[in-house]
């Protein structure tokens, strides 16, 4: 379910500014993302792409500008508020607890209970739900398997499963292919395809963009807190994107 840009954006960021003391980290960022679209934020370290993503995820707060969610202005002041809207983030370190099982990580902070005030964990219901979403992602990971015994790609998959299970509308992937084997990279690309097919919007933060090029609909190139170019996949190439970044204005 890929979007057409004639539709209203799921998320619209308008003139976003971010200051850290005297450091001007974001300078008037305008970004739209649509349901079922994969948007890549690319650029060198310090370009501002992760700072922007943290603002959307509720980790950081903007200094100026506004965010609109389904056309309504919102102030995303916390991770919890972002999640309530349907925004999930998968960080490059996966933000998983290695000593816990896949099931425990998927439901971390969101355990399901039965019998009302007795607060008994409904392990059977949680296990069935976790198994279903892991199968949908093609992950051969047992729900009771500790994630420290999973490969890097499988750990990313568990984090993505958590986002899918809780009906995310927008998923942010922070350097998802970093330090992965070719098989792990292909698994991440398949995860993104699966999310797009469900109508989920995906923001991918990356500086290794040739790997994510085949599944990305639009690329926003950033440098020193500014957007320097925006390209649709069909009108560009990895070589063209690399050239723009290398020849960026000083």
The CA distance from 94 to 149, in Å, is: 14
Q: What share of the chain is helix, strand, coil (3-state, %, to 5)?
A: 35, 30, 35
The mean pLDDT value for 235-245 works out to: 93
User: What are the pLDDT digits (tens) for 158-197?
Assistant: 888 888 787 889 999 988 887 677 887 888 888 899 889 9
The domain 11-101+168-246 is classified under which CATH number: 3.40.50.300, 3.40.50.20, 3.40.605.10, 1.10.10.10? 3.40.50.300
Residue 21 has pLDDT above 90, yes or no: yes
The CA distance from 112 to 94, in Å, is: 22
The CA distance from 18 to 11, in Å, is: 18
Pick left, alpha or beta for residue 55 (phi over 0 → left; psi -120 to 50 → alpha; otherwise beta). alpha
Please give the order of strands across the beta sheet that includes 38-42: 87-90, 170-174, 201-206, 38-42, 218-223, 226-232
Q: Among 27-31, 63-67, 119-123, where is mean pLDDT lowest?
A: 119-123
Residue 219 has pLDDT above 60, yes or no: yes
User: What are the pLDDT digits (tens) for 171-180?
Assistant: 999 888 876 7
Task: Tell me the domain boundaries of the chain.
Answer: 11-101+168-246
- The pTM of the full predicted model, rounded to 2 decimals, is 0.84
What percentage of the chain reaches a pLDDT higher than 90?
Answer: 53
C-alpha distances in Å from residue 36, one per residue of 2, 198, 200, 202, 232: 5, 7, 5, 7, 15
- List CB contacts of 15: < 8 A, sequence separation 6 or more: 28, 29, 30, 64, 65, 66
The CA distance from 206 to 203, in Å, is: 10
Phi, psi of 120 (to 5 degrees): -85, 130
Residue 3 has what pLDDT?
A: 46
C-alpha distances in Å from residue 58, one per residue of 42, 89, 177: 20, 10, 23
């Amino acid at each position: 379910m890929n979007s057409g840009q004639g539709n209203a954006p799921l998320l619209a960021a308008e003139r976003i500014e971010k200051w850290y003391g005297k450091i001007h980290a974001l300078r008037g960022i305008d970004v739209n993302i649509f349901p079922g679209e994969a948007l890549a934020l690319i650029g060198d370290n310090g370009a501002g792409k992760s700072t922007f993503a943290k603002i959307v995820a509720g980790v950081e707060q903007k200094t100026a500008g506004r965010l609109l969610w389904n056309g309504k202005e919102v102030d995303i002041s916390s991770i919890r508020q972002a999640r309530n809207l349907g925004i999930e983030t998968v960080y490059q370190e996966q933000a998983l607890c290695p000593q816990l099982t896949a099931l425990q990580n998927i439901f971390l902070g969101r355990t399901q209970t039965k019998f009302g005030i007795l607060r008994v964990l409904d392990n059977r219901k949680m296990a069935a739900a976790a198994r279903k979403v892991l199968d949908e992602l093609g992950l051969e990971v047992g729900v009771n398997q500790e994630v420290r015994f999973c490969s890097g790609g499988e750990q990313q998959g568990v984090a993505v499963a958590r986002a899918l299970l809780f009906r995310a509308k927008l998923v942010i992937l922070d350097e998802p292919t970093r330090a992965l084997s070719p098989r792990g990279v292909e698994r991440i690309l398949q995860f993104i395809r699966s999310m797009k097919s469900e109508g989920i919007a995906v923001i991918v933060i990356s500086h290794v963009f040739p790997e994510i090029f085949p599944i990305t609909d639009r690329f926003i190139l950033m440098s020193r807190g500014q957007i320097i170019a925006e390209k649709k996949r069909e009108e560009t190439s990895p070589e063209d994107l690399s050239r723009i970044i290398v020849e960026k204005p000083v």
